[in-house]
Amino acid sequence: MLKGIHPLLNADVLQALRAMGHGDDLIVADTNFPSDSVARQTALGRLLRIDAPAAEVVKAVLSLYPLDTFVDDSAARMEIVGKPDEIPPVQKEVQKEVDAAEGKSWPMLPVERYAFYERAKRAYCVIQTGERRFYGCFAFRKGVVPPDAA
């Protein structure tokens, strides 16, 4: 355990978050997402895991990870097939954590399922969660930390 670092963030995840640069994508995926095969195609090339619900994982990650303020899609969610405007409870829970981390409303943009898979393949890394509910898949683009930040 370390002071000031969320206990869900294991050493492998911390290393990946630290290594990522501005504009790199992080995928947080549910248990049904093809995480292992997709992760092999990412920059990191291997799967990371945090066995907890998606909202808890996102809260932990966003406690350290800045979102990109230069693009509109720095926070994204996989849309429901055939129901692109529907937002299931898991996505509402994650949206609350995104808003809390940013201190304001920060809407996640919907991404069609297969477009999400392609974005995930181009990501820096994939964290598979223990989330068992459908559509618990999210993409977060890394922003910058200003030089005067603590």
Among the listed residues 22, 36, 72, 114, the single catalytic one is: 22
57-81 pLDDT, tens digit per residue, is 999 999 999 999 999 999 999 999 9
Q: Give the per-residue pLDDT at 2.
A: 81
Catalytic site residue 117?
yes
100-135 pLDDT, tens digit per residue, is 999 999 999 999 999 999 999 999 999 999 999 999
Among the listed residues 24, 25, 30, 117, the single catalytic one is: 117
Q: Name all domains of the chain by residue range, CATH numbers in brackets.
A: 9-140 (3.40.1650.10)
Q: Give the per-residue pLDDT at 135.
A: 98
Catalytic site residue 22?
yes
Question: Residue 150 pLDDT > 80, yes or no?
Answer: no
Catalytic site residue 148?
no
CA neighbor of 88 nearest in space, from 98, 78, 97: 78
Check if the beta carbon of residue 28 is closer than 8 Å to that of residue 131.
Answer: no
Q: Give the per-residue pLDDT at 44.
A: 98
Strands 48-50 and 125-129: parallel
Specify the pTM.
0.96
Residues 6+ apart with CB under 8 A from 147: none
DSSP state of 67: B
Percent of the chain at pLDDT > 70 equals: 99
Among the listed residues 24, 65, 68, 124, the single catalytic one is: 68
**CA of residue 101 relative to chain centroid, distance:** 13
